[in-house]
Amino acid sequence: MIRLTGIHKHFGANHVLRGVDLDVARGAVTALIGPSGSGKSTLLRCFNLLEMPEAGRLELEGLAIDFGIGRPPPKADILAVRRSTGMIFQNFQLFPHRTVVANVMEGLVTVSRWPTEKARARAMELLAKVGMDHKAEDWPATLSGGQQQRVAIARALAASPKLLLCDEPTSALDPALAAEVVEVLRALAREGTTMLMATHDLRLAAQVAQEVVFIEGGGVVERGAPGQVFGAPSDPRTVRFVESLTGAAGGPPPI
């Protein structure tokens, strides 16, 4: 079990997260949905300490960290958390001066100190998994957005993270390219990869996640299976949000 408890986060006077509790079961996929500014991306980034909470507790596979203002976690604990998580960004964040295979190898060689040939073998295995091994020696600038995001997924998986974090993984893509990425994430979910994703893409959440969490105003409003949250939400705020997105998309997401 991976858990955040009582998480608070401010950006100046803006109280973004207000005592949030959230857990992700091992082997499960959880989708965070909510309006822009609701705190879902900030909450996601608290799981790997790219954002440092001011209060609360993180539990990650036997490691527990308590947060407090003026009490930063030990550097060793921060590094342990980051080694246990992989991150997929909405704008890919590939190194433009590295080939596809070198992008996937980079962390293994420079951080984990793997031998080059072992790292390359691992990178090629992961590129094959996401259907990008035929582009191993290409440069990121020559790839479509969907292809770049698939490479980014392979890179995030390189060190076998306990938790894969996805921050709006399809938002920069047109529908056809987004479908490529959704299919890769669905395959990872079927393999039992533990994932937490922040997304506005209700189809992604409906097709990949076992649980959907609706966040608004820095707190969890409602959580449940996709069919319940999208088909019969219990909180009026969830109803309004889902209606605003399904109306724009031309209907409810397929469950």
* Per-residue pLDDT in tens (0 to 9) along the chain, 255 residues: 799 999 999 999 999 999 999 999 999 999 999 998 899 999 999 999 999 999 999 998 889 999 998 888 999 999 999 999 999 998 888 999 999 999 999 999 998 899 999 999 999 999 999 999 999 999 999 999 999 999 999 999 998 999 999 999 998 888 888 889 999 999 999 999 999 999 988 888 999 999 999 999 999 999 999 999 999 999 999 999 988 877 655 555 655
Give the residues across from 60 on adjacent strands: 2, 63
Residue 235: what residue type? D
DSSP class of residue 137 equals: T
Distances in Å between the alpha carbon of 120 and those of 101, 103, 114, 137, 158? Answer: 7, 10, 9, 12, 10
Q: CATH assignment of 2-249, given 3.40.50.300, 1.10.40.30, 1.10.260.40, 3.10.129.10?
A: 3.40.50.300
Question: Measured between alpha carbons, how far is 219 from 240 in angstroms, rounded to an integer?
Answer: 16
Task: Describe the chain by its helix, strand, coil percentages, rounded to 5.
Answer: 40, 25, 35
What is the SS3 string spanning 50-90?
CCCCCEEEEEECCEEEEEECCECCCHHHHHHHHHCEEEECC
Predicted model pTM: 0.91
